[in-house]
Chains A and B, each alone.
Chain A
């Protein structure tokens, strides 16, 4: 770590914060463009002009949009993103109850998918052009271009209906043993892994192949080093940066997949909370959930960039 790397990373962080600010403006604009406002929505059919006006005052809706934006933003930053319109519970409380289970699902998925994807990607790069490589690459293209719910339904068909190993729904309420934990998480994690492993192994394969076609690898081959040794001690250390980049970027696909997966398995996470909020048009909740997802996405992209900067040896000795 030296001056150049530090400066690049700080630059990238600053850009990330700026993007997040722009995204928050975008989220606020999209959810506030409609003429009908939250007060009207909350009162529904029973709205009289007086009650709407009173509620507007209570929500602070009589103020101009920029003022409301800053109130909303400062609320978000201080951990108080408003009150749910549907059941009058603070949004922070609703999210707080659901966020840990979503994070757990994401962590388990990452822990399972990263080793599998790296092994698949590296081995298929080593045996490029072989039957194994072609099977993996056709499989991953097919997996990427197929909707997540097809993977999920096929998994349910096989494991819950035909084999009867697992139940079709994910019951996370009463987990007492490791066996129950596996039963509850196997299906959602399996589905999410399929999509992510496909992405990640493709990108890993490309990164390793990129290194394998360089002249120092050819040199090592001419010296008579074994293929395994070439890949493990020569190519991999130089491919770490691109691979870390690939891992972080592929994990951002998790954010899209988790929405479908939580919905199909009735998993009590933040994505299913947001879908409910969208269905009932509970705007404060939608805004807060959207900001959490956008934050997570930007963090992963940022992590990918920082990995690429830190592991670039050309920046190290300046």
Chain B
């Protein structure tokens, strides 16, 4: 709550006084984004402290009843071996969020760095980089991931690398478009005329002025990576047992689908809340940009 209202206040300070209509419309937007922020914060917190507060150990068989329903003892039912589903999900949070976050940050930082280089260098370096990365986009993401897993086997590092390579060109495209625009601004030209170095211009003049759309893009890409990695795990080609992320939890309990067991639906719902939460949060980032314009 504090973070959101503070940043709103900062934005409002820099702007001319907003008309009454804009003020009235700001409220519902921030309610939705607040919900998003709460969901995302909750899951991030669970990724850190989840295993310590979970009622049982992830591998512990606590109930003789497999695919048990929701009860007071097992809040989200039991899985195909009679393990506690809530604990399994809490332990899985770390894999789902950790892997996706690492891959997203890698993809976006490399993409943005390359984009800044391309924009600064211009000419044939820019053209070659853009064309090469465009060719990478023309392999569908799931196909690329399947080939990587087929050739190198599945490990945490490979999953991070695969997702990062898949989503890096998109991040490059967006950052390059932004960088090319920012580059024509007077303050960048003024810095050039002052004789500042390329590093100073990128880090001090350009990067801070494109950070908001880049952050919104990070959020969007995080959603894509979560969906890709849980899709892979669902095909049992992602995170390998005994570890399990939410996608693997859906797969290993798929036999309970016919009985309508909560063990199948709950991990899938966890993914859905996370991705929808991130979407709600970044919608507000984009909305702010639109209002600023």
Residues of A within 8 A of B (CB): 19, 22-23, 26-27, 30-34, 141-142, 145-150, 153-154, 156-157, 160-162, 168, 252, 255-256, 259-260, 263-264, 274-275, 277-279, 281, 283, 286, 290, 293-294, 297-298, 301
Q: Is the CB of A260 within 8 A of B140?
A: no
Q: List the B residue with the shortest CB-CB distance to A149.
A: B234
Q: Is the CB of B147 within 8 A of A150?
A: no
Which 6 A-B pairs have CB atoms at the shortest separation, nearest pair first? A150-B268, A278-B150, A145-B275, A161-B260, A22-B135, A146-B272
Chain B hits for A147, CB < 8 A: 227, 230-231, 234, 247, 268, 271-272, 275
| Min CB–CB distance B35 → chain A (angstroms) | 13
Q: Is the CB of B138 within 8 A of A154?
A: no
B239 at interface (Cβ–Cβ under 8 A)? no
**Size range of the chain B interface in the assembly:** 35 or more
| Min CB–CB distance A51 → chain B (angstroms) | 23
B258 at interface (Cβ–Cβ under 8 A)? yes
Q: Is the CB of A153 within 8 A of B264?
A: yes
Q: Is the CB of A256 within 8 A of B237?
A: no
Q: Is the CB of B250 within 8 A of A153?
A: yes
B130 at interface (Cβ–Cβ under 8 A)? no
Count the A-B residue pairs with Cβ separation under 8 angstroms: how many? 129
Contact partner, A160, options B150, B258, B271, Cβ 8 Å = B258
Q: Is the CB of B272 within 8 A of A278?
A: no
A-contacting residues, B235-293, CB 8 Å:
235-237, 247, 250, 254, 257-260, 264-265, 268-269, 271-272, 275-276, 278-279
B9 at interface (Cβ–Cβ under 8 A)? no
B192 at interface (Cβ–Cβ under 8 A)? no
Q: Is the CB of B276 within 8 A of A252?
A: no
Contact partner, B235, options A154, A275, A283, Cβ 8 Å = A275
Q: Is the CB of A30 within 8 A of B269?
A: no
A252 and B236 CA atoms in complex are apart in Å by: 24
Chain A hits for B143, CB < 8 A: 255, 290, 293-294, 297
Known pairs A31-B150, A147-B247; list 18 more (Cβ under 8 Å).
Answer: A19-B138, A22-B135, A26-B136, A30-B151, A141-B279, A145-B223, A145-B227, A145-B275, A145-B279, A150-B265, A161-B260, A260-B231, A263-B235, A283-B150, A286-B146, A294-B138, A297-B143, A298-B138
Q: Is the CB of B271 within 8 A of A256?
A: no
A146 and B270 CA atoms in complex are apart in Å by: 10
B152 at interface (Cβ–Cβ under 8 A)? yes
Q: Is the CB of B247 within 8 A of A278?
A: no
Task: Decide yes or no: A149 and B250 within 8 Å by CB, A278-B237, A283-B150, A293-B143 being known contacts.
Answer: yes
Q: Is the CB of A150 within 8 A of B272?
A: yes
A298 and B235 CA atoms in complex are apart in Å by: 24
Q: Is the CB of A301 within 8 A of B272?
A: no
Q: List the B residue with the shortest CB-CB distance to A260.
A: B231
Q: Is the CB of A23 within 8 A of B135?
A: yes
A297 and B138 CA atoms in complex are apart in Å by: 8
A-B contact pairs, 28 of them (CB 8 A): A26-B139, A27-B147, A30-B148, A33-B151, A142-B276, A145-B223, A145-B278, A146-B271, A146-B276, A147-B230, A147-B234, A147-B268, A147-B271, A149-B234, A150-B268, A150-B269, A150-B271, A153-B257, A153-B265, A161-B260, A168-B257, A259-B231, A259-B235, A260-B231, A286-B147, A290-B139, A294-B139, A297-B138
Q: List the B residue with the shortest CB-CB distance to A142.
A: B276
